[in-house]
Chains A and B, each alone.
Chain A
Amino acid sequence: MSEAGPIPGCDAPPVGVDGILRERGQREVFCGLTGIIWLHRKIQDAFFLVVGSRTCAHLLQSAAGVMVFAEPRFGTAIIEEKDLAGLADANEELDRVVNRLLARRPDIKLLFLVGSCPSEVIKLDLSRAAQRLNGRFSPNVRVLNYSGSGIETTFTQGEDACLSALVPDLAFTDEEQLMIVGSLPDIVEDQLTRLLGDLGIAKVVSLPARKAGQMPGVGPNTRYLLAQPFLAETGTALDKRGAVHLPALFPFGAEGTTAWLHAAAQAFGVPEARFEQVIAGPRERARKGLALYRENLAGKRIFFMPDSQLEVPLARFLAGELGMELVEVGTPYLHKGHLIDELAALPPGTMISEGQDVDKQLDRVRAARPDLTVCGLGLANPLEKEGLSTKWAIELVFSPIHGYEQAGDLAELFARPLHRRDLLRV
Chain B
Amino acid sequence: MQLTVWTYEGPPHVGAMRVATGMRDLHYVLHAPQGDTYADLLFTMIERRDHRPPVTYTTFQARDLGKDTAELFKKAARDAYDRFQPQAMIVGSSCTAELIQDDPHGLSLTMGLDCPVIPLELPSYSRKENWGASETFYQIVRALADKERKPPPAVGENGPRRPRANLLGPTALGFRHRDDITEITRLLADLGIDVNLVAPMGASPADIVRIGEADFNICLYPEIAAQACSWLERTFRQKTVKTVPIGLNATREFVAEVCAVAGIPVPADLDQGRMGWWSRSIDSTYLTGKRVFIFGDATHAVAAARVASEELGFKVVGLGCYNREFARELRAAAEKYGVEPLISDDYLAVEEAIEAAAPELVLGTQMERHIAKRLRLPCAVISAPVHVQDFPARHSPQMGFEGANVLFDTWVHPLVMGLEEHLLTMFREDFEFSDAAGPSHLGHASSAPAAHGAPAAEQPAGDVATIAAPAPASDEGGWTAEALAELGKIPFFVRGKARRNTEKYAAEHGVITITRETLYEAKSHYAR
Report A's interface with B, CB cutoff 8 A.
Answer: 25-34, 51, 53-55, 57-59, 61-63, 65-66, 68-69, 71-72, 74-81, 83-84, 90, 93-94, 96-97, 100-101, 117-118, 120-122, 149-152, 154, 359, 376-382, 384-385
A-B contact pairs, 16 of them (CB 8 A): A54-B11, A59-B35, A69-B367, A69-B374, A78-B1, A81-B125, A93-B1, A97-B3, A150-B34, A154-B34, A376-B41, A377-B45, A380-B44, A382-B50, A382-B52, A385-B51
Closest approach, in angstroms, between the C-beta of A134 and any C-beta of chain B?
Answer: 19
Interface contact B37-A79, CB-CB below 8 Å: no
Please pick, from B38, B48, B59, B94, the residue contacting A381 in the complex, using a CB distance under 8 A.
Answer: B48
Counting from the closest, the 4 A-B pairs by CB-CB distance are A31-B35, A150-B35, A378-B40, A385-B50
Please pick, from A34, A62, A80, A377, the residue contacting B1 in the complex, using a CB distance under 8 A.
Answer: A80
Could you tell me the dominant secondary structure of chain B's interface residues? mixed
Interface contact B4-A76, CB-CB below 8 Å: yes
> Chain A contacts of B53 at CB under 8 A?
378
> Chain B contacts of A378 at CB under 8 A?
37-38, 40-41, 44, 52-53
Please pick, from A63, A65, A151, the residue contacting B60 in the complex, using a CB distance under 8 A.
Answer: A151
Interface contact A83-B1, CB-CB below 8 Å: yes
> Chain A contacts of B50 at CB under 8 A?
381-382, 384-385
From residue 99 to 114 of chain B, which have CB atoms closer than 8 A to chain A? 99-100
Closest approach, in angstroms, between the C-beta of B442 and any C-beta of chain A?
Answer: 18
In the complex, A227 Cα to B35 Cα: how many Å? 25
> Chain A contacts of B33 at CB under 8 A?
31, 117, 149-151
For residue B124, CB closer than 8 A to chain A, the reply is yes
Interface contact A151-B61, CB-CB below 8 Å: yes
For residue B524, CB closer than 8 A to chain A, the reply is no
> Chain A contacts of B4 at CB under 8 A?
54, 57, 75-78
Known: A57-B7, A58-B10, A80-B1. A26 touches B35 (CB 8 A): no
Interface size range of chain B in the complex: 35 or more
Interface contact B65-A151, CB-CB below 8 Å: yes
Closest approach, in angstroms, between the C-beta of B54 and any C-beta of chain A?
Answer: 11
Closest approach, in angstroms, between the C-beta of B355 and any C-beta of chain A?
Answer: 16
Closest approach, in angstroms, between the C-beta of B86 and any C-beta of chain A?
Answer: 14
Closest approach, in angstroms, between the C-beta of A403 and any C-beta of chain B?
Answer: 29
> Chain B contacts of A97 at CB under 8 A?
1-3
Chain A, residue nearest B62 (CB): A151
Interface contact B7-A80, CB-CB below 8 Å: no
In the complex, A25 Cα to B95 Cα: how many Å? 20
Interface contact B1-A120, CB-CB below 8 Å: no
> Chain A contacts of B48 at CB under 8 A?
381
Interface contact A77-B10, CB-CB below 8 Å: no
In the complex, A121 Cα to B66 Cα: how many Å? 11
Please pick, from A53, A66, A75, A94, the residue contacting B96 in the complex, using a CB distance under 8 A.
Answer: A53
Known: A61-B6, A61-B7. A53 touches B34 (CB 8 A): no
In the complex, A121 Cα to B61 Cα: how many Å? 11
Interface contact B126-A101, CB-CB below 8 Å: no
Please pick, from B2, B59, B83, the residue contacting A27 in the complex, using a CB distance under 8 A.
Answer: B59
Interface contact A81-B41, CB-CB below 8 Å: no
* Binary flags per residue of B375-392, CB closer than 8 Å to A gives 1, else 0: 000000000000100000
Interface contact B125-A58, CB-CB below 8 Å: no
Chain B, residue nearest A77 (CB): B1
> Chain B contacts of A94 at CB under 8 A?
1
For residue B261, CB closer than 8 A to chain A, the reply is no
For residue B58, CB closer than 8 A to chain A, the reply is yes
Could you tell me the dominant secondary structure of chain A's interface residues? helix
Interface contact A54-B128, CB-CB below 8 Å: yes
In the complex, A381 Cα to B451 Cα: how many Å? 37
Interface contact A100-B59, CB-CB below 8 Å: no
In the complex, A26 Cα to B58 Cα: how many Å? 6
Interface contact A75-B52, CB-CB below 8 Å: no
Interface contact A118-B95, CB-CB below 8 Å: yes
For residue B203, CB closer than 8 A to chain A, the reply is no
> Chain A contacts of B76 at CB under 8 A?
26
> Chain B contacts of A57 at CB under 8 A?
4-7
> Chain B contacts of A34 at CB under 8 A?
38
For residue B236, CB closer than 8 A to chain A, the reply is no
* Binary flags per residue of B312-337, CB closer than 8 Å to A gives 1, else 0: 00000000000000000000000000
Interface contact B14-A58, CB-CB below 8 Å: yes
Closest approach, in angstroms, between the C-beta of A9 and any C-beta of chain B?
Answer: 11
Interface contact A80-B95, CB-CB below 8 Å: no
Interface contact A359-B10, CB-CB below 8 Å: no
For residue B57, CB closer than 8 A to chain A, the reply is yes
In the complex, A378 Cα to B49 Cα: how many Å? 10
> Chain B contacts of A62 at CB under 8 A?
38-39, 41-42
> Chain A contacts of B96 at CB under 8 A?
53, 55, 117-118, 121, 150-151
Beyond A80-B126, A97-B3, A150-B34, 14 extra complex contacts between A and B, CB < 8 Å: A26-B59, A34-B38, A54-B7, A55-B10, A62-B39, A80-B1, A97-B1, A151-B96, A152-B61, A154-B34, A359-B79, A382-B44, A382-B49, A385-B50
In the complex, A28 Cα to B53 Cα: how many Å? 12
* Binary flags per residue of B115-156, CB closer than 8 Å to A gives 1, else 0: 000000001111010000000000000000000000000000
Chain B, residue nearest A54 (CB): B11
* Binary flags per residue of B7-36, CB closer than 8 Å to A gives 1, else 0: 101110110000000000000000001111
In the complex, A25 Cα to B49 Cα: how many Å? 24
Known: A378-B41, A380-B44. A69 touches B2 (CB 8 A): no
Please pick, from A26, A122, A152, the residue contacting B56 in the complex, using a CB distance under 8 A.
Answer: A26
For residue B370, CB closer than 8 A to chain A, the reply is yes
Closest approach, in angstroms, between the C-beta of A32 and any C-beta of chain B?
Answer: 8
In the complex, A69 Cα to B476 Cα: how many Å? 28
Interface contact B126-A55, CB-CB below 8 Å: no
With a 10 A CB-CB cut-off, give which of A27, A29, A30 has the most chain B CB atoms. Answer: A27
Chain A, residue nearest B50 (CB): A385
In the complex, A196 Cα to B61 Cα: how many Å? 40
In the complex, A76 Cα to B345 Cα: how many Å? 14
In the complex, A61 Cα to B129 Cα: how many Å? 15
> Chain A contacts of B126 at CB under 8 A?
80-81
Chain A, residue nearest B49 (CB): A381
